Chains A and B, each alone.
Chain A
Amino acid sequence: MFVLLVVMALCAPLYAKHVAHTTPDRNNITGKVTVGGEQRDVVSLDGIPIGPTWQGEYLLGADQNGRDVAVRLLYGARNSMFIALTATAITTILGIILGLLAGYYRGVVDWIISRSMDVLWAIPVLLLGVALGVSLALGGVKLGPLELSGDSLWIPTLIIGVVGVVYLARPLRGEVLRLREQEFVEAARAQGASGPRIMFGEIFPNIIATVLVFFPLLVANAVLLEAALSFLGAGVRDPDPSWGTMIGEGEKVIITQPALTIAPGLMLVLTVLSLNVVGEAVREAIDPRARVRLEQ
């Protein structure tokens, strides 16, 4: 099912061009559309957008700017996938590195990393996400040669990626602590292998299983966090579509056009559910005891 969603997201431009005949950004406020042989306003004089037409154009209706919701939904899927997968990749890489360093070297390194994790852990994820989302979006990010505009998709990506590290680094650290006392590590150390070598050559292969168990769940969490941040106005910004912002916008006209709220939400639930099912399967297969504590 997740694969299906990815395929749908990839096909978004084809759908936009050949079925809906529009782009995700094109406004059409005063336009009309023929539904069942009848001319109807895309956006009424009262500013209320058209509901689902169940035909090529405006399949799921329009938003207040007269943009095609179905098209934006598919493009939103691309943004969601991009952010969630990239962020999880960041989380995973950082999590592995920090987990290895803290678990292997212990002492001061461990203290610094663990306390940093404690600090991150002490701020509710959403509060931190919203604060970072709002402040970074205002100024953009400048890190050496890397320069991000305030409305870049990379900003929520980085935030979600960094915030997620706590979920992964802690359990990995525990695992590394356990592994480093094992015989094969002792053996490698006796042979004079360097620290990094032991970490990546000996210990790393043994924590891959844990990482695999976490991966789908982290992606699911990233999708939800992205949606929540966007819903609160601190994530993806217009004109880029996002399911979270679409729910927020839809909510304002939920009385007339509930489809605008329901459709992006269903996409979210399906995506997250499919990821959770995958995660469940991986967990059953690899390590039934692993538990990921994720929160909203």
Chain B
Amino acid sequence: MARFIVRRLLGMIFVLFAVSVIVFGIFFVIPNGAPENRMAGKQSTPQQIAAIRKDWGFDKPITTQYVKMMEKLVTGKNFKSYQQQRDVYAELREGLPRTFALAIGAAILWMAAGVALGVFSALRAGKKADFVVNVLALIGISIPVFWLGALVNHYLGYKLGLFPNGGYVPISEGGLWQWTYHLIMPWVVLSILFIGIYSRVLRSTILETMNEDFVRTARAKGISERRVIVRHVLRTSMIPILTLWGLDFGLVIGGGAILTETVFDLQGIGSYYADSVSQLDVPPIMAVTMLGAVFIVVLNTVVDILYAALDPRIRLT
């Protein structure tokens, strides 16, 4: 087991290293992408450009530049964006609570609604209600989140005035109610897709589990159907859902909610990434991608290790 964990940890480090190289490479090779020309502004002079190159180390070979970038990324010292020389970690600290607020609320919502709908439709498998839930779930996973967000924003926010038209209010400024009020629409919109996925996954796992021996045994013992479902079936069926939940949560925290954030003007990590890419500002791009990769890789590994610990049948490869 210990060896397994060590191997997974080494794998993690390798993956993170590769991610950093890839992202750095993507933005290094762009023609006309030389950051010093952009930073010099419209009325640039050769002396000024030369000074920028020297100051920021753009005159060094690519490997040196990569090492320097990673050094800054890890230590956080003097890690500034090219464009407005802002401290990248300070920006992340501002964006993270916003993204976190979005992700936590949405994750709870999609988990609760996904499980409720999944159980509901599994219990009524083959009936009309099951069919309706299934169709709704299919529609849910077919709606582009940015489109839904734009419409909801317009009709519920602007037209009817039921909700604020986007934006984020920190608890410290507007109190708990304003914070929640501003996040309700983003939570719901972001959740729709996941609710669709989770309800369907849960439904099929429940149906599979119901046919397993231990459930039949339980039934034969005369335990009430309700108890069978809750104590035996649901408990087993929740494992894949919890796994999914961990992975998706990591994804959303790591900037995966970029569309929801931009549509609702939440200014979290995703929007920060979007802005940085449009300015080809490599330091924040590196920081956000690495942050996302860390969340995803760590959660993946944790899930794997837990799985291996819980289920000895899984081969430790």
Contacts and interface: CB of A to CB of B under 8 A. Distances in A.
- Chain A in direct contact with chain B (Cβ < 8 angstroms): yes
Interface residues of A, number: 49
Interface of A: 115-116, 118-119, 121-128, 130-132, 134-135, 138-139, 220, 224, 227-228, 231-234, 244, 247, 251, 254-255, 258, 261-262, 265, 268-269, 272-273, 276-277, 280, 288-289, 291, 293, 295-296
B255 A124 contact: yes
Given A122-B15, A134-B280, A261-B150, 19 more contacts: A119-B15, A123-B23, A124-B251, A125-B256, A127-B258, A127-B288, A135-B30, A135-B280, A138-B32, A139-B29, A227-B144, A232-B274, A258-B154, A265-B150, A269-B142, A272-B143, A276-B141, A289-B208, A296-B193
Contact of A231 (B26, B146, B285): B146
Nearest to A234: B277
Nearest to A139: B31
Contact of B144 (A132, A139, A224): A224
Interface string B5-37: 000000100111011001100110111110000
Nearest to A117: B15
Nearest to A121: B296
Contact of A115 (B18, B29, B292): B18
B278 interface: yes
Contacts, number: 145
A225 to B, nearest CB: 10
Contacts of B16: 122
Contacts of B280: 134-135
Given A126-B258, A228-B146, A232-B274, A131 B138 contact: no
Contacts of A265: 144, 147, 150-151
Contact of B289 (A123, A234, A295): A123
B252 to A, nearest CB: 9
Contacts of B208: 289
A258 B150 CA distance: 10
A88 B47 CA distance: 50
A124 B138 contact: no
Main secondary structure of the interface of B (DSSP, over half): helix
Contacts of B300: 121-122
B83 interface: no
25 contacts: A115-B14, A115-B15, A118-B15, A119-B19, A122-B19, A122-B292, A123-B22, A124-B258, A130-B258, A135-B33, A139-B29, A139-B31, A227-B144, A231-B144, A231-B259, A232-B258, A244-B144, A261-B154, A265-B144, A268-B144, A269-B142, A269-B144, A269-B147, A288-B204, A296-B193
A239 B23 CA distance: 29
Nearest to A270: B142
A247 B11 contact: no
B292 A127 contact: yes
B96 interface: no
Given A135-B27, A247-B150, A296-B193, A220 B32 contact: no
Question: Residue among B15, B193, B255 with the most chain A CB within 10 A?
Answer: B15
Contacts of A231: 144, 146, 259
A277 B200 CA distance: 13
A265 B145 CA distance: 10
B107 interface: no
Interface string B194-208: 000000010010001
Contacts of B277: 130-131, 134, 234
Interface in B42-56: none
7 tightest Cβ-Cβ pairs between the two chains A and B? A265-B147, A272-B142, A273-B142, A124-B256, A122-B293, A139-B31, A119-B18
A226 B273 CA distance: 19
Contacts of B30: 135, 138-139
